[in-house]
Chain A
Amino acid sequence: GNSVTQMEGPVTLSEEAFLTINCTYTATGYPSLFWYVQYPGEGLQLLLKATKADDKGSNKGFEATYRKETTSFHLEKGSVQVSDSAVYFCALSPYNFNKFYFGSGTKLNVKP
């Protein structure tokens, strides 16, 4: 089947710290992988995506690399800001964006 597992939160970091949020997946075929972010009081929005193995998605200083051998898509940022405080969701789409599977979300708190 298809599923996404991501690390439980909350994750609390000081400003300018390095961030890693782990995400692993199980999928049939060759899925596309995504990270979505939900800022407080707002709807989900796409942060980055990768559609094939070894692709790196990046946006707003965040990066994630599609690792087929480890079935992982970990989210990283070198220096977090208070404004990065949000809930982050890892997701996959098995084929042709017909269906999406989301992880349970990881809440990030960044302290000044």
Chain B
Amino acid sequence: DTGVSQDPRHKITKRGQNVTFRCDPISEHNRLYWYRQTLGQGPEFLTYFQNEAQLEKSRLLSDRFSAERPKGSFSTLEIQRTEQGDSAMYLCASIEGRPGSTDTQYFGPGTRLTVL
């Protein structure tokens, strides 16, 4: 068990470019969450997967944002036509999500996005 990993850890991009982030949850965790965190604020929920199915999406997730988890393992979050307001830390978390499990949410280290 190596924990939740995210790649890249830092991304600097120019306004208008597309970016993609990857999250690898803890092996066999079937629930995966994406959050956005800005300075001085708590994480804001973006979306949630149960295996490969995307079951919840926040209104924060505009049409420029898309997330996938094609095989129920790793997930990607893509932001198209980035804006300066997208600058934030993007966090991924996973939960085992099986009957009798602890339902503890484990967070990754995050990807810090800076849009110039």
Q: Let me know if B79 is at the binding interface, CB within 8 A.
A: no
Q: Please tell me if A99 contacts chain B, counting CB pairs below 8 Å.
A: yes
Interface segment among A14-22, A38-46, A61-69, A76-84: the answer is: A38-46
Q: Report the interface size for chain A: residues with CB under 8 A from the other chain.
A: 17
Compute how far the CA of A82 lies from the CA of B108 in the bound complex, rounded to whole angstroms: 25
Q: Please count how many residues in chain B sit with their CB below 8 Å of the partner chain's CB atoms.
A: 25
Q: Per a CB cutoff under 8 Å, which of B41, B42, B97, B110 touches A91? A: B42
B21 to A: closest C-beta gap in Å: 15
Contacts of B103 in A (CB 8 A): 97
A105-B55 in contact given A43-B110, A100-B33 (Cβ < 8 Å): no
Which residues of A are at the interface with B, using a C-beta cutoff of 8 A?
4, 42-46, 89, 91, 97-105
| Chain B interface (Cβ < 8 Å from any Cβ of A) | 4, 31, 33, 35, 40-45, 48, 55-56, 91, 93, 95, 97, 103-110
